[in-house]
Amino acid sequence: MKEKSYSETMKASIMKRIKAKESFVQDLYVDMLITEIQLKNRKEQLLLKIDKAIDERNRTLFLSLTEELKALNKQFGT
């Protein structure tokens, strides 16, 4: 078996680190994207429920749902 030279070993090590960083960034991006989709979905659901509470003149439910929406917006800075 042929041994790798020092420069080949260093190049392989650097490439491994670059690939690991790229993989980490890609995983992070996917996680952020999924979180964003879940957040948008939850907000849409809340807004629909708020509209329904308004239509039904249900003040208690309306106030509860709007507080939940405010908390969600505060938590995610939107």
> Would you state the pLDDT for residue 49?
98
Q: How far apart are alpha carbons 45 and 62 in whole angstroms?
A: 13
Low-confidence ranges of the chain (pLDDT < 70): 1-2, 78
pLDDT at site 76: 81
Task: Provide the CB-side half-sphere exposure for 48 (13 A, CA).
Answer: 6
Contact 46, 75 (CB under 8 A): no
Output the pLDDT for position 14: 84
